[in-house]
Structure 1
Amino acid sequence: MTTFRGSCLCGEVAFEVEGPFDRFLNCHCSRCRKATGSSHSSEVIVQAAALRWLRGEASVARYDLPTARSFATAFCKICGSPMPHLTRSGREAIIHAGAFDEPLGATPDRHAQWSSRADWYVHGNGLPVED
């Protein structure tokens, strides 16, 4: 097993996750686009017991969308960075891939809600690269 550490932008919150990951996906649903302000969320999903808070758990706020059966998001109360959260069932943890501090050695294994993707999303490597 491998341990992956992550944190928020301001450093108030830190966590670790025991790998391997159950799933690693890009979700293109409109809710994930709103929550991230991007074309999709990139999420690692693990069993709840694989997530451990190292510091700052009290600085994490959670929002459960009341009109949704299962949509939630969590973020650092200080800097607003997306943070891990448990599913409503409490069985799994969802972690935004961008919250990890080191390379994951993995890539997403699927696109979820592909038919809901933004009409401006470009899939693939056809765009120019800027450093």
Structure 2
Amino acid sequence: MTTHRGSCLCGTVRFEIKGEFDSFFLCHCKHCQKDTGSAHAANLFSQSAKLNWQAGQEAVTSFTLPQSRHSKSFCKHCGSALPNTQNEALLVVPAGCLDTEVKVKPTGHLFTSSRATWEAKLSNAPEYEGLPE
């Protein structure tokens, strides 16, 4: 059984996930763009993996956009995205909150009709290993 560990940016919240991920989607919908402040969200999904909070569960808060299925959990101290359970059957894990390597390849892109207009230009952008000089 695979075990993943994760945490928030400030280190208050730590968690462990035991089990396998069913899918890994990059979502380009407008909700995920607003939610992440980026071109897309990168979320892992599982119907069988188990989430166990190791520390800081009292710092985890959630928001569900009214009249939608868009929901997110985050640390109330630093704002980092954290796992949440939807409909008590689906575990949604933001890939960036994991401290262990994600070996699953993305399953696909969702809501590509809502892609940010600047996203197509990303492949031509220069790359830097750290801050540019």
| TM-score over 0.5 (shorter chain) | yes
| Aligned counterpart for 1:120 among listed residues 118, 121, 126 | 118
Q: Secondary structure at the match of 1:63?
A: strand
| Contiguous gaps of at least 5 residues in structure 1 | none
- The alpha carbon displacement at 1:126 in A equals 4.0
**Aligned 1:1-131 pairs, distance under 5 A:** 1-47=1-47, 49-68=49-68, 70-87=69-86, 89-122=87-120, 125-131=123-129
Q: Distance in 1 between matches of 2:37 and 2:57?
A: 24
Deviates more, 1:45-54 or 1:99-108: 45-54
| Contiguous gaps of at least 5 residues in structure 2 | none
TM-score of the pair, normalised by structure 1: 0.90
Q: Secondary structure at the match of 2:31?
A: helix
Counterpart contact for 2:14–2:55, Cα < 8 Å: yes
Equivalences, count: 129
Q: Distance in 2 between matches of 1:22 and 1:123?
A: 30
Q: Distance in 2 between matches of 1:33 and 1:78?
A: 21
Letter of the structure 2 residue corresponding to residue 43 of structure 1? N
Larger radius of gyration: 2
Counterpart contact for 1:18–1:50, Cα < 8 Å: yes
